[in-house]
Amino acid sequence: MRVLMFGWEFPPHISGGLGTACYGLTKGLHQIGGVDVLFVVPKAYGDEDQSRLSLIDAGEVTVSSRMVDYKGFFKRIHFIEVGSSIIPYTTPEEYEKMMSKDVKGNRFFVNTAFSGKLSFAGGYGPNLFQEIANYAAIASVIGVSHDFDVIHAHDWLTYPAGIAAKMVSGKPLIVHVHATDFDRSGGSVNPGVFDIEKRGMEHADRVIAVSNLTRNIIIEKYGIDPDKVVTVHNAVEPLENREMLKREKSINDKIVTFLGRVTMQKGPEYFVEAAHLVLQKMKDVRFVMAGSGDMLKHIIHRVSALRIGDRFHFTGFLKGEDVFQMYSLSDVYVMPSVSEPFGISPLEAMQSNVPVIISRQSGVSEILEHAIKVDFWDIHAMADAIYGILQYNGLSSMLRNNVKEEVDNLKWDNAALKVKEVYNSVL
C-alpha cells in the first residue's frame, strides 16, 4: 500500500509537535510493514541539498524529490519537498531568529505549533491563502505523476493539497486533525481557517482525531458525521541516552515544573495560583515556569503581587537538552492546559520518571492512568495534588515506579496499526 502524505515539517527541520508526530507515525507505519509513505512537505529553508527537479507545469514552484535515510527506518523513505514561501515556526523566539536571517522574497511565517494562533501581519493574509492554494496546485501535479492508494493530510494547511490530490486521482482522502482552530484561538476562530478545516473534513473519507476531545469538537463544531471520525491517540518516541543529560540537583528544595508556552491556552495562571496555595503550607518547595509567551508579563506581575517571587522562578524558553535537564530536576510536572488536543509534554516528563498532574481538558488524559487528573480551573485540587506528591512518599514512589512503564507502552507502532486500519477501511 502506498500512501501520499502531506505534512508540514519533517526532520531535520522540526519546529513543533506536528513534525514530531508525523515523524513518529511514518516511522511506525514503516515498522509495522506493508505501507510505503510518499512524504510531501513545503520547503523554504534553502540550506538543504539543492538537487531540485523543476516541474514544468507549475511555473515558479519547484519540487525536489529525494530518498532520505532516517535512523530507525528499515528502508529509505521517499521524500518530496515543495518550494514554498511558507515558513513554519512554533515559538516567538524562533520567529525572531528566522526573521533576522534575512529571508529573501515574499516569505510567510506560519505558526505550526498545535495551538499557535494564526495572526496575519499587514496585508499578507490573502497571500498566505494564495500560498496554500499554490501548494494545493503542486499536490494535484504530484497526484497525477505518482502512484499511490491513499492520501493522508496533516492539519489545515495541507487540507487543500489533500483535496486537490483527491480530485485528480480519485483516491480516498484521510485528514488527520492534530488541532483545530478552536484550540488555537480559544474561541475566536479565524473564518478563513475554519473554512479550510471544514472543507477538508467534509471532503475526507475519514477524519483521524488525536483524542476524543478533538473528535467531539470535529463532530460538534464542524458538523462532521460521527461515523467518519476515528480517534487515534498519539504516542511518543522512546528516549535514548537521556542519562547523559541528567543534571545534579544543587538545592534540597522540591521542584514543581510548568513547561510550555505561556499563553492563555496552557493555563499558566492556574499554576501560579496553585503554587501560592502550596507555599502557604510548605516552605521547601520551588516552582519553575519554563517557557515564554504573550502572558508571561502578566504572570510575572501576578507572582510578584502574591509575594511568592522568592520561590517562583522563570527560565525563559527552553530547547533541546535543556528541556530534558529541566525534567530530570523536577519532582512534579504540571500541565494545567485549558484546551489541549493531545499534549505530548507530560509524556516526555514521564519518560524522565517524573510524576505528572494533567488537566482533564487534555487529550492525553484519556489514555494515561498513572497521572493525577484535575480540572484546569480547580486550583485547590491542583494544589492538593502537588502537596500530596511532595509530602507523601507512597504516592511519589508509586507514580515514579509506574509512569515510565506506562509511557513506554505508548508506541507509535500501535498508533500506526490503527491508522493502517483506517486506510484499509477506505480502500
Q: How far is the CB of 77 from other proteins (least distance, A)?
A: 37
**Shorter beta-carbon distance to other proteins: residue 15 or 361:** 361
Instruction: Answer yes or no whether residue 36 interacts with other proteins by CB under 8 A.
Output: no
Long-range contacts, 44-48 (Cβ 8 Å, 24+):
44/83, 44/84, 44/85, 44/86, 44/87, 44/103, 44/107, 45/13, 45/87, 48/81
Q: Does 394 bind other proteins (CB under 8 A)?
A: yes
Contact call for residue 45 and other proteins (CB under 8 A): no
Min dist CB 410 to other proteins, Å, is 15
Separation CA 382–CA 359 (nearest Å): 9
Give buried/exposed letters for 328-348 (b at 16+ CB in 10 A, else e).
Answer: bbbbbbbbbbbbbbbbbbbbb
Which one among 149, 273, 322, 384 touches other proteins, defined by CB under 8 A? 384
| Cα 67 from Cα 193, distance rounded (Å) | 33
**Beta carbon of residue 367, minimum distance to other proteins (angstroms, whole number):** 12
Q: By CB under 8 A, name the one of 387, 413, 418, 426 that touches other proteins.
A: 387
Stretch that binds other proteins, among 1-9, 326-334, 391-399, 408-416 (CB under 8 A): 391-399
Interface characters, 144-173, with other proteins (x: CB under 8 A):
------------------------------
Alpha helices (H) in 261-392, listed in sequence order = 268-281, 296-305, 321-329, 345-351, 379-391
Please say which residue, 132 or 372, places its beta carbon nearer to other proteins.
Answer: 372
Q: Which is nearer to other proteins, 141 or 356 (CB)?
A: 356
How far apart CA 37 and CA 73 sit, in angstroms, is 12
Separation CA 424–CA 172 (nearest Å): 11
Shortest distance, position 399 Cβ to other proteins, whole Å: 8
* Least distance CB 332 / other proteins (angstroms): 12
Shortest Å, Cβ 169 to other proteins: 45
**What is the grid cell recorded at 199?**
472543507
Number of residues that bind other proteins (CB under 8 A): 22
Q: Please enumerate in sequence order all residues whose Cβ is within 8 A of that of 368, keeping only pairs 6 or more positions apart, or say none.
A: 346, 356, 358, 406
Written as nine digits, the cell of 232 is 487515534
Give SS3 for 53.
strand
Is the separation of the CB atoms in 157 and 8 below 8 Å?
A: yes
Write each residue from 397 to 426 as x if it is in contact with other proteins (CB under 8 A), else as -, in one continuous string.
xxx-x-------------------------
Q: How many residues does the chain have?
A: 427
385 sits near other proteins (criterion: CB under 8 A) = yes
Q: Give me the sign of the Cα torsion angle 287, 93, 194, 169.
A: negative
Nearest CA-CA partner of 24 in 332, 419, 425:
419
**Binding residues among 341-380 for other proteins as defined by CB under 8 A:** 369, 372-373, 380
Q: Are strands 62-68 and 53-54 parallel, antiparallel or unpaired?
A: antiparallel
**What is the contact mask toward other proteins in residues 265 to 294, using x (rule: CB under 8 A)?**
------------x--xx-------------
**Shortest spacing between CB 327 and other proteins, in angstroms:** 20
| Footprint on this chain of other proteins (rule: CB under 8 A) | 277, 280-281, 369, 372-373, 380-381, 383-385, 387-388, 391-395, 397-399, 401
